[in-house]
Chains A and B, each alone.
Chain A
Amino acid sequence: MSSQALFSSLVLIALLPLLSALVATVIPASHRWITPLASSLLLALASILSLLLSISQWNEPTLVWEKTWFTLGESTVTAGILLNNTTLVLLSVVTFISFMVHLFSIGYMAGDKGEQRYYSILGFFTFAMLGLVLADNLLLLFVFWELVGFSSYMLIGHWREKDAATAAAKKAFIINRIADLGFIIALLIIWGHTGSFSLTSFNFEEQEAWRTGAALCLLLAVMGKSAQLPFFNWLSSAMEGPTPVSALIHAATMVVAGVFLLIRVFPLFTPLALDVVVIIGSSTAVLGALAALHQFDFKKILAYSTISQLGLLVAAVGTGAYGVALLHLLTHAFFKAGLFLGAGAVIHSLHQAQHSSHVHFDVQDIRNLGGLRKEMPITFFCFSICAAALAGLPLFSGFQSKDAILVSVFSWSGDQVWRQAFAWTIVITSVLTIFYTVRMLWFVFFEEAKKTALLTIQEVPTIMRIPLVLLSLGSLWWMVAFHPLDFSGWLLDSIQPNQEHNLFITWLSLISIPTLTVLAFLWFKYRKKPTTLGFLQEGYYLDYLNSLLVTKPILAMSTVSERIDKKGLDGIIHGFAYLTVGLAHLLAWVDKNIVDGLVDASGRLAKGFGSIARSFSGGQIQSYIFWSVFALVISLFWFLFY
């Protein structure tokens, strides 16, 4: 394919979702039924195009198209597309998952008041995400980075009348904004020291401190977007949004943008920075998994699971195995999207059932669910496949990618004790993952029906089953390699070939993971009452810490600054004003009583004369005449007798 045609088709792929957004906005409300179909069609087109493109361009040399975006003095900032294997993987994943979510939404969002708005923002999100994936420089990437954050804000807060949803949206955006300061500062450092926004070459001229600084600042941004340690509480609240959105944005695509960024700017990271990356990633992984084990909300389990898996991805990049991270990103995108859509299917059909039977309870609370495997067999089947991939059972994609992560972590740790400690947290995370996955599966599908027994539940419509089936197919081993136990397949061989293998770890996983799964099933079967720790259920009280350490001080400062404005600054101004006015009054008194006194005296004199003269002119003609005659007579006498 010629370079120009390739460029055009990439632009087309990115613009198709934008077109979908536009279509969803302009379709009149009377024809709103067209919207989901048109949007899905456009996304299908985009996804097919990008799949074809990916297959044809796989393993081709890196291509860059650049055009001048703007110039600042001597320097030029370009905008363009960077195309390599990483881009192709993400391109296909984003368009495909987005297409699946669009399909699923046709059923899920049917009859929603803001359906058109939903599709337009979903389309816009996909566009922004594709832009992020394709961007060839950091500034452009940051533009789309923020735009996906914006779409996430709009979609989390899709149900505008729901206070929890809008609060979660705000929280997500602001926490991401705080983390994005890191991105901005990294941009500043990179621009200030290298004079470009290039994604691939970082010419720091021996200034390793600045380089590490830039890398750590970028890591901060990644920690926000990919919900890492101190920032991950936004992701669990983000579950207030529609479930397909959670599948697309908060599991498969946007949250992995951070990991994608790490992979893109991998050359920037100094060994020191990489160590920090592993520490952050592995702590998040284990903390997320622990919290997932103590959630009762169906979607929150998945949210914390996502946090934990994102931690694994970040840790994998930190160990230097960015290819492995990309591999797990791919498999995770499929099985986690599948899990979320499965959860969505459960929630949807329970809502439908509640609607017809007028029994109301929280359908997301797993303590209320149970026994759904009989009522919703297809959902159950697909959900189980994805769950097995999450748990890392052999024959599922998760096994291979997790195996790869474990191998790379242990090869990174070597003999260093502290490194081994972090490597072991990854192992613990994997074990915990099995437990929370089984717990979720058990309570929703296996346990005897509790409140759900009151309802007549039906399987979701076909349009929602298709994505489930497709995604669960994508969670099988062949996504990674033809050999079900080997992680070196088409992807890893092309991105980061010659990954070390560790047969000991592979075999150990092969044996221990199924064993642990069975154990977990038995555990939950015989331990009836679900328990939880408040500390873990509340996500380590991060929300509380947030408000204590950030929100409240800022609000207090804002009140103080407003008071300074009103009382302090304006007080000074008013003080000056009163002083001036007081002085003016004093001067006025002096003027009136002393200066004016003299003037008044002469005035009064004049006035006295005036009043005499005035009495002659009383406005009466006859008195005028009298006086003139009188004067005439007097003057006559004068003339005659003197």
Chain B
Amino acid sequence: MHEYLLSLLIFLPLIGALIVLVLPAGTFYGRSIALLIALLQGLVFIFILAAYDTSLTGLQLAERARWISLAMGTWGEVRADYFVALDGLSLPLVGLSVFIFIIATISSWKVEKSRKGYFALLLVLNAAVMGTFCAQDFLLFYLFFEFMLLPMFFLIGIWGGARREYASIKFFLYTLLGSILILIVMIALLLSTKSSNDTGTVVHSFSITDMTNSANILSQSVLDPQRGLELFGISVRVWAFIFLFIGFGIKLPMVPLHTWLPDAHVEAPTAISVLLAALLLKIGGYGLLRITYPLFPDAAMQLSWLVALFGVISIIYGALAAMASKDLKRLIAYSSVSHMGFVLLGVASVTTEGAAGAVYQMVSHGVISAMLFLLVGVLYDRTHDRMIENYSGLSSKMPVYFSYTLLAFFASLGLPGFSGFMAEVMVFLGAFKSNGVNGLIHESFAIVATLGLVLGAAYYLWTLQRMFFGKYHFKSSTENTSLVDLDQREILMLLPLALITIAFGIFPQLLLNFINPFADSFTETVLQTGKAIQAIIRP
């Protein structure tokens, strides 16, 4: 059954969504089915782990089936495959997704408004996320990537807060803009690459593996480095890189393309915020590592400093904006911007440490941000108020809640012993080493980025001081019976997350076993191919 594990992972939630839709409205079965599906996916993931061999580099558990095949006469054949597989980049993210969907489903347990639609959309989103992380065919990837927008738009737009329409439309338009840029590059790539082993007719395949291989670039095509096509004085390949960078940068999100994120987070219901922060942002980093860098290594080597610069700006700017936020959820949203900046910095370094750190940071941020948003949700459920200034001395009223918040805040600000620290250290190591090893980015980027750690500590500790310490009061009234401590369902969600971030903080090898081969091959491929192509451009 190994050969169908990934398909099972992707299609289980779709089947679940169908079942939920068929069931009569108003029952509680929807959420049970959603949870059941999520747990089944967990089981499937365990099988995947068992079948996955960490000693190998490259794609594993591949499934490939002919999907679209269009003969275009003498020009060749367009082919898109149903091609799903996992490697050291996909696997940790797929694992994260499976895990976070279980948590998000539990967190949605008390959704009241049209449950049926909610859980059906949640399951559709689940399938799309899994598909995005598994797909190795650009068209398939793009399909899943776009497909994610639809459930997300409705989940924010219908189940969201007061300004939900504004937020969901902003989210939708932003992401769509990014998608269009990616689409343009995808078409350009299709036109200028061929499949590795085609006999006779040229097969224009969407397979990312084929596109990565620089030998597959058709001569005299749009993206042919030898042809050296230019647009406004900049090489087309560089444009393609920039388009992909912006496209995935919006998703990441990177300053200054991030303003959809705080709004979307503030308006989205808790579970959707969790999914948004923990999984959807990761697709930006995933795209950079999977597509942007390997496909345009020459442009990457030219522009890595720019990527790193945006990373550093995101780190600092996100932290500063977080500090000024008065809304707790907004603060955490901005902290996400800051933390995803580390991913950019790590990727830009193109070193083993940096690439591994970027993937590590994605997983770690997934877990920690999920925890943070759940915690905000806990408070919001009780009081319908997220304003920091309205609370004081919560630690005496809700001690267990305080403990979890303390843990999550310190995990997020990068205290050693939590996964975030490991990730950030690796990113720093990579970014600092880069200049000496491959000369892509200067040491100062890493040094400036460390300031993000101080700012992180500052806004989290300030929040702790304002909300949790001092004498208890809530909105000037000292009595509020609704402020009860965590219940068992909430602990059930938070405890696994806490344990995982600690486990990954103390035993990084758990994750690095998977990431290391990928980080190695990523660095090697990008550097070698990049140099080879640059040699063609400037002989």
Say if the two chains contact directly (CB < 8 Å).
yes
> Is the pair A562, B352 in contact by a Cβ cutoff of 8 Å?
no
Q: Which of A118-138 contact B (CB under 8 A)?
A: none
Asked if B17 is at the interface of the complex by the 8 Å CB criterion, the answer is: no
Asked if B519 is at the interface of the complex by the 8 Å CB criterion, the answer is: yes
Known: A170-B462, A177-B457, A184-B453. A163 touches B516 (CB 8 A): no
Interface with B: A253-261, A347-355, A550-558, which one? A550-558
Pick the residue among B321, B454, B509 that contacts A558 (CB under 8 A). B321
Cα–Cα, bound, A144→B416 (Å): 8
Known: A163-B469, A561-B317, A565-B262. A74 touches B454 (CB 8 A): no
**Residues in chain A near residue B450, CB distance under 8 A:** 181, 184-185
Asked if A157 is at the interface of the complex by the 8 Å CB criterion, the answer is: yes
Inter-chain CB contacts under 8 Å: number: 141
> Is the pair B320, A191 in contact by a Cβ cutoff of 8 Å?
no
Known: A143-B417, A192-B433, A558-B320. A174 touches B457 (CB 8 A): yes
Asked if B436 is at the interface of the complex by the 8 Å CB criterion, the answer is: yes
Asked if B398 is at the interface of the complex by the 8 Å CB criterion, the answer is: no
Cα–Cα, bound, A160→B508 (Å): 34
> Is the pair A189, B396 in contact by a Cβ cutoff of 8 Å?
no
> Is the pair B458, A554 in contact by a Cβ cutoff of 8 Å?
yes
Known: A160-B395, A181-B454, A565-B259. A69 touches B428 (CB 8 A): no
> Is the pair B416, A143 in contact by a Cβ cutoff of 8 Å?
yes
Q: Which of B399-427 contact A (CB under 8 A)?
A: 410, 415-417, 421, 425-426
Asked if A96 is at the interface of the complex by the 8 Å CB criterion, the answer is: no
Asked if B274 is at the interface of the complex by the 8 Å CB criterion, the answer is: no
**Residues in chain B near residue A170, CB distance under 8 A:** 461-462, 464-465
Known: A561-B317, A569-B256. A69 touches B455 (CB 8 A): no
Q: Which of B423-442 contact A (CB under 8 A)?
A: 425-426, 428-429, 432-433, 436
**Residues in chain A near residue B170, CB distance under 8 A:** 573
Asked if A161 is at the interface of the complex by the 8 Å CB criterion, the answer is: yes
**Residues in chain A near residue B461, CB distance under 8 A:** 153, 169-170, 173-174
> Can you show 10 pairs from A to B with CB atoms below 8 A apart?
A72-B353, A73-B351, A74-B352, A150-B410, A160-B470, A163-B469, A174-B454, A184-B425, A188-B446, A562-B321
Known: A161-B471, A163-B470. A72 touches B352 (CB 8 A): yes
**Residues in chain A near residue B520, CB distance under 8 A:** 73
Pick the residue among B317, B425, B509 that contacts A187 (CB under 8 A). B425
Asked if B356 is at the interface of the complex by the 8 Å CB criterion, the answer is: yes
Q: What 0/1 readout, one digit per residue, does chain A (213-247) give for beta carbons within 8 Å of chain B?
A: 00000000000000000000000000000000000
Q: Which of A150, A180, A559, A561 has the most CB of B within 10 A?
A: A561
Asked if A521 is at the interface of the complex by the 8 Å CB criterion, the answer is: no
Asked if A70 is at the interface of the complex by the 8 Å CB criterion, the answer is: yes
> Is the pair B451, A181 in contact by a Cβ cutoff of 8 Å?
yes
Cα–Cα, bound, A555→B325 (Å): 11
Report A573 CB to chain B, min CB distance, Å.
6
Asked if B271 is at the interface of the complex by the 8 Å CB criterion, the answer is: no
Instruction: Name which residue of chain B comes closest to A566, CB basis.
Output: B259
Q: Would you call the interface of chain A mostly helix, strand, loop, or mixed?
A: helix
> Is the pair B469, A166 in contact by a Cβ cutoff of 8 Å?
yes
> Is the pair B320, A561 in contact by a Cβ cutoff of 8 Å?
yes
Cα–Cα, bound, A147→B505 (Å): 13
Q: What 0/1 readout, one digit per residue, does chain B (234-267) give for beta carbons within 8 Å of chain A?
A: 0000000000000000000000101100100000
> Is the pair B396, A177 in contact by a Cβ cutoff of 8 Å?
no
Instruction: Name which residue of chain A comes closest to B395, CB basis.
Output: A160
Report A411 CB to chain B, min CB distance, Å.
37
Asked if A142 is at the interface of the complex by the 8 Å CB criterion, the answer is: yes
Asked if B536 is at the interface of the complex by the 8 Å CB criterion, the answer is: no
Asked if A26 is at the interface of the complex by the 8 Å CB criterion, the answer is: no
Cα–Cα, bound, A69→B507 (Å): 7
Cα–Cα, bound, A21→B158 (Å): 47
Report A94 CB to chain B, min CB distance, Å.
19
Cα–Cα, bound, A312→B516 (Å): 46
**Residues in chain A near residue B519, CB distance under 8 A:** 72-73
> Is the pair B469, A139 in contact by a Cβ cutoff of 8 Å?
no
> Is the pair B447, A177 in contact by a Cβ cutoff of 8 Å?
no
Count residues on chain B whose CB falls below 8 Å from chain A CBs.
Answer: 58
Cα–Cα, bound, A153→B415 (Å): 12
Cα–Cα, bound, A560→B323 (Å): 11
**Residues in chain A near residue B322, CB distance under 8 A:** 558
Q: Which of A232-289 contact B (CB under 8 A)?
A: none
What is the interface of chain B, defined by CB distance below 8 A to chain A?
170, 173, 256, 258-259, 262, 317, 320-325, 351-353, 356, 393, 395-396, 410, 415-417, 421, 425-426, 428-429, 432-433, 436, 443, 446-447, 450-451, 453-455, 457-458, 461-462, 464-465, 468-471, 507-509, 512, 516, 519-520, 523
Cα–Cα, bound, A191→B351 (Å): 13
Cα–Cα, bound, A158→B469 (Å): 10
Pick the residue among A139, A142, A160, A557 that contacts B320 (CB under 8 A). A557
Interface size range of chain A in the complex: 35 or more
Known: A71-B512, A192-B429, A569-B259. A160 touches B396 (CB 8 A): yes
Report B420 CB to chain A, min CB distance, Å.
12
Cα–Cα, bound, A147→B458 (Å): 17
> Is the pair A573, B259 in contact by a Cβ cutoff of 8 Å?
yes
**Residues in chain A near residue B508, CB distance under 8 A:** 69-70
Q: Which of A557-588 contact B (CB under 8 A)?
A: 557-562, 565, 569-570, 573, 577
Cα–Cα, bound, A150→B457 (Å): 11
> Is the pair A191, B454 in contact by a Cβ cutoff of 8 Å?
no
Instruction: Name which residue of chain A comes closest to B170, CB basis.
Output: A573
Cα–Cα, bound, A391→B351 (Å): 55
> Is the pair B323, A191 in contact by a Cβ cutoff of 8 Å?
no
> Is the pair A192, B425 in contact by a Cβ cutoff of 8 Å?
no
Cα–Cα, bound, A178→B523 (Å): 32
Asked if A167 is at the interface of the complex by the 8 Å CB criterion, the answer is: yes
Asked if A146 is at the interface of the complex by the 8 Å CB criterion, the answer is: yes
Cα–Cα, bound, A143→B421 (Å): 9
Report A22 CB to chain B, min CB distance, Å.
14
**Residues in chain B near residue A160, CB distance under 8 A:** 393, 395-396, 468-470
Instruction: Name which residue of chain B comes closest to A140, CB basis.
Output: B416
> Is the pair B410, A189 in contact by a Cβ cutoff of 8 Å?
no
Report B147 CB to chain A, min CB distance, Å.
25
Known: A161-B471, A191-B433, A573-B170. A150 touches B516 (CB 8 A): no
Instruction: Name which residue of chain B comes closest to A188, CB basis.
Output: B432
Q: Which 3 pairs from chain A and chain B are nearest by CB? A: A73-B352, A143-B416, A562-B324
> Is the pair A166, B465 in contact by a Cβ cutoff of 8 Å?
yes
**Residues in chain B near residue A167, CB distance under 8 A:** 465
> Is the pair A161, B396 in contact by a Cβ cutoff of 8 Å?
yes
**Residues in chain B near residue A562, CB distance under 8 A:** 320-321, 324-325
Known: A174-B454, A192-B432, A573-B170. A554 touches B416 (CB 8 A): no
Report A49 CB to chain B, min CB distance, Å.
24
Report A122 CB to chain B, min CB distance, Å.
17
Instruction: Name which residue of chain A comes closest to B424, CB basis.
Output: A184
**Residues in chain A near residue B462, CB distance under 8 A:** 170
> Is the pair B469, A157 in contact by a Cβ cutoff of 8 Å?
yes
**Residues in chain B near residue A573, CB distance under 8 A:** 170, 259
> Is the pair A146, B465 in contact by a Cβ cutoff of 8 Å?
no
Pick the residue among B320, B323, B426, B458 that contacts A72 (CB under 8 A). B426
Instruction: Name which residue of chain B comes closest to A562, CB basis.
Output: B324
**Residues in chain B near residue A561, CB distance under 8 A:** 317, 320-321, 324
Pick the residue among B352, B417, B432, B465 that contacts A191 (CB under 8 A). B432
> Is the pair A555, B451 in contact by a Cβ cutoff of 8 Å?
no
**Residues in chain B near residue A68, CB distance under 8 A:** 509
Cα–Cα, bound, A118→B457 (Å): 22
15 extra A-B contacts, CB within 8 A, seeds A143-B421, A192-B432: A69-B508, A70-B507, A70-B512, A71-B516, A72-B512, A139-B425, A142-B416, A173-B457, A181-B453, A187-B428, A188-B446, A192-B429, A193-B436, A558-B323, A570-B259
> Is the pair A146, B416 in contact by a Cβ cutoff of 8 Å?
yes
Cα–Cα, bound, A569→B432 (Å): 31
**Residues in chain B near residue A169, CB distance under 8 A:** 461
**Residues in chain A near residue B173, CB distance under 8 A:** 577
> Is the pair B432, A554 in contact by a Cβ cutoff of 8 Å?
no
